[in-house]
A and B are shown apart, each in its own frame.
Chain A
């Protein structure tokens, strides 16, 4: 009898996200087992218990999912997991804390697609504001956009916090190859004048971009908002919007709402969970892999 598919789901939080559990079971994992309040220091022991209890063939049908709320911690746990294995006792690992990696991938890929189809351009050299960008989704999206060549500025209400996040993104996630800047929320009326792209990844129910901001955004091309709960983070943008022109824009800017982004995010997470099942050799997946998959999903849907 073939071994059943088991996904060991680790989170530093006190519960798993039911979103991730549903996604995992729907992707084909048969048993989704929760490990909660996991300390990063416990990862090695858990991983070794996973790998030494099945044959390499059985391990091909075993996976680790890393949730939680902290992007850096999830990245570190992914690295620890990888370093705790001994070939051929290896399993695939996928980190997606708060769904942030796949959400960010969905957002950056849909934005890139709008730039391409509506403006015949790319993220390369674009001025990008990541509003509410200090959270998990904002961080991952900022890194992906910067890696694609955008001049990214993470905007926060406290400059030192935004700067800290920008440094973290540059050094840890971007491995020193990107240079995201930080900016103050109270200065965004200035920044918006030269912005080409805006990401809104703030908390639900907070308006990050007003009608005045939109009216002064002389070169804005795409604005994306992951907030599905009204009011929208960008005024006039609806959760269902998928490339519709934003009301009051003077530059023909289009909007991407939470459901348009969520659709790609959903498919991306599902495909990565399936990739763990189908891959012959172990894979270690994070936001960069999510972005490749999201781009591919958009490409093949055309």
Chain B
């Protein structure tokens, strides 16, 4: 009898995300095992327990998923897991904390497509802002956009120091070139967006970050993408289902809504999970592979 496939789901939080559970079951994993409150120093032992309990044939049917809410910690965990492997006792590892890697990958890929289709531009020609830029999805969005060549700033709604610290940390980790910015009033937002080509909104669900009056000040805006599916939209005028719909204002700008992004995100996460099951050679997947996959899908 072939071994049943097992996904060990390691999470620094008190509980796994039901989102990841649904996705893993829908990919076809037979058994899901949640591990909660996992610390970085636990990863080595957990990984070795996973690899040494099945034959190399059996561990092909075994995977590790790393969740949580912290992108840096997830990246450290994926490294720790990798270092714990003893070939041929090796399993695939996918990190997607808060779904941030796959959501950010999908968001940037969707925006990149609209940029090309409607404006004939590449990310490297553009200046981008990430609102909600210090949260998990925001950071991943910023890093991916920056590595793809866009001049990108992470915007925090409270503190410039917080935004700068996050930008610096992830520039060091990922070799990106992010900067930080702050905007807590409509005036500050209007100033910030005046000369940008791209706006990513990854702020908390149900909060409108940019009203239509503020958005009208973005005279250079080409594409705006929003991942908030809970009304009101993060960017006024973008409906969740919009995928390349012209905004009322500013003229010429194109909107991408949460369900359009979500549709790609969903496929990305599914394909990456599937990849860990199908691959002959173990793979280590983070936001980079997520972005490659998202580009393929769009």
Residues of A within 8 A of B (CB): 3-4, 6, 8, 30-31, 33-38, 42, 46-50, 52-54, 58, 62, 86
Contact = CB atoms under 8 A, between A and B. Distances in A.
Interface stretch (B14-22, B150-158, B160-168): B14-22
Most central of B15, B19, B21, B266 by chain A CB within 10 Å: B15
B297 interface: no
Given A6-B21, A33-B21, A52 B229 contact: yes
B26 A33 contact: no
Contacts of A34: 34
A295 B23 CA distance: 38
B19 A49 contact: yes
Contacts of B32: 31, 33
A35 B26 CA distance: 19
A34 B230 CA distance: 26
Interface residues of B, number: 20
B67 to A, nearest CB: 11
A264 B262 CA distance: 44
Given A48-B205, A48-B230, A86-B230, A6 B22 contact: yes
What's the dominant secondary structure at chain A's contact region? mixed
Give 5 nearest A-B pairs by CB, closest first. A49-B19, A53-B22, A53-B19, A50-B18, A49-B18
Contacts of A49: 17-20
Given A33-B16, A48-B205, A49-B17, A54 B230 contact: no
B22 A50 contact: yes
A3 B26 contact: yes
25 contacts: A3-B25, A4-B26, A6-B21, A6-B22, A31-B21, A31-B32, A33-B16, A35-B15, A35-B16, A36-B15, A37-B15, A46-B15, A46-B17, A46-B18, A48-B230, A49-B18, A49-B20, A50-B19, A50-B22, A52-B229, A53-B18, A53-B19, A53-B20, A53-B266, A86-B230
B18 A8 contact: yes
Contacts of B22: 6, 50, 53-54, 58, 62
Interface in B11-43: 14-23, 25-26, 32, 34, 36
Interface of B: 14-23, 25-26, 32, 34, 36, 205, 229-230, 262, 266
A4 B233 CA distance: 32
Contacts of A30: 25
Contact of A31 (B17, B25, B262): B25
Contacts of B20: 49, 53
A36 B14 CA distance: 7
A139 B23 CA distance: 39
B266 A38 contact: no
A37 B19 CA distance: 18
Nearest to A4: B25
A257 B177 CA distance: 72
A54 B34 contact: no
A271 B14 CA distance: 31
Nearest to B36: A36
